[in-house]
Amino acid sequence: MDPTRDNPILRFTAFWWALGTFFAIAVVIAAIYLFDRQPAETPEEAAAEARYKIREQVDQAQKDALAAADFATAIPAMAKQLAASKPVAVEKPEQVVPGSPTAEKLAAEPADSGAGATDVDALTPAAGTAPDAAVMELGKTQFLTCAACHGQNGEGGPIAPPLAGSEWVAGPVSNLIRIQLRGLEGPLTVAGKDYNFAAGMTPLAFQTDEQIAAVLTYVRNSFGNSAPPVLPEQVKMLRSEVGKPMLKADDLIKP
């Protein structure tokens, strides 16, 4: 045996060196563990963190929200605005209150009556109102388009019914405007005669509001017809009809 190995002093120092080294490493590991910890990693911890963030936002929002005193000033101001606001036109059928004047008005119109045909007809001047001479002149030039099918004197022909003596021409203005803007097809009765033209009447929406009002005024006051004039604003109110499918007699208000 090596005598130096068995030296008690050497054994004593070696023991303490080993112990010291062990503790030094333990301290280093503990330090690394303590100072290098990562934030929440498990799904539960991550979810909890999201909740804390939302909680923070809610607390902040509640802090920023109106105080009771603010409501005291805001409500009268809002009430004033509400009282001053005008009622908004009903846009969807389900908004109409059953039995209300609006419901009754809509029931009087055909289902596919466009943008408020009865509102348009309400604007028609009283019976006996004479048409403006300049409007009649303009209407006469515009009528060339119609004459191609309906005849020079609105007498009708092989491809179109008569306009002379037609109850449609003398009837509601919204019908006439809509016929011109959307066209008309299918069986039709005019002045007691049944017609069914294969091609129907194509939409003729290319004229201005003034031109359409003038030609319809002209037709209503020529060939023996006599009815109040048609106004450009009435045509304008029905412009949204352009581009919709051609009308059938059932889509019109009975003259």
**Pairing of β 188-190 and β 193-195:** antiparallel
Contact indicator for 157, 151 with CB cutoff of 8 Å: yes
Closest approach of ligand HEC to the CB of residue 97, in Å? 35
Per rule CB under 6 A, count of chain residues that contact ligand HEC: 30
Does residue number 171 form part of the binding site for ligand HEC (CB under 6 A)?
no
Q: What is the DSSP letter of 159?
A: T
Does residue number 153 form part of the binding site for ligand HEC (CB under 6 A)?
no
Nearest one of 89, 113, 90, 115 to 238, comparing CA atoms: 115
> Cα(179)–Cα(203) distance, rounded to whole angstroms?
7
> Cα(87)–Cα(89) distance, rounded to whole angstroms?
7
- For residue 194, what are the β-bridge partners? 189
- Which of 109, 185, 209, 251 binds ligand HEC (CB under 6 A)? It is 185
Indicate the helix (H) or strand (E) that contains 147: helix 133-150
| Cα→Cα distances 116→34, 152, 233, 253, Å | 78, 32, 13, 12
> Cα(58)–Cα(53) distance, rounded to whole angstroms?
9
Contact indicator for 129, 228 with CB cutoff of 8 Å: yes
Does residue number 188 form part of the binding site for ligand HEC (CB under 6 A)?
yes
- Which of 105, 106, 118, 145 binds ligand HEC (CB under 6 A)? It is 145
Does residue number 150 form part of the binding site for ligand HEC (CB under 6 A)?
yes
- Which of 135, 219, 230, 235 binds ligand HEC (CB under 6 A)? It is 219
Of 62-70, 96-104, 213-221, 228-236, which part binds ligand HEC (CB under 6 A)?
A: 213-221
User: And the tokens for 251?
Assistant: 């889509």
Does residue number 172 form part of the binding site for ligand HEC (CB under 6 A)?
no
Question: CB under 8 Å to 88, separation ≥6 — which residues?
Answer: none
Of 31-39, 75-83, 181-189, 222-230, which part binds ligand HEC (CB under 6 A)?
A: 181-189
Does residue number 234 form part of the binding site for ligand HEC (CB under 6 A)?
no
Does residue number 252 form part of the binding site for ligand HEC (CB under 6 A)?
no
Does residue number 184 form part of the binding site for ligand HEC (CB under 6 A)?
yes
Closest approach of ligand HEC to the CB of residue 147, in Å? 8
Does residue number 162 form part of the binding site for ligand HEC (CB under 6 A)?
yes
Does residue number 197 form part of the binding site for ligand HEC (CB under 6 A)?
yes
Does residue number 180 form part of the binding site for ligand HEC (CB under 6 A)?
yes
Phi-psi bin for 151: left (phi > 0), alpha (psi -120 to 50), beta?
Answer: left
Does residue number 204 form part of the binding site for ligand HEC (CB under 6 A)?
yes
Closest approach of ligand HEC to the CB of residue 143, in Å? 7
> Cα(233)–Cα(178) distance, rounded to whole angstroms?
14
Contact positions vs ligand HEC (CB under 6 A) = 145-146, 148-150, 159-163, 166, 168-169, 176, 179-180, 184-186, 188, 190, 195, 197, 200-202, 204, 215-216, 219
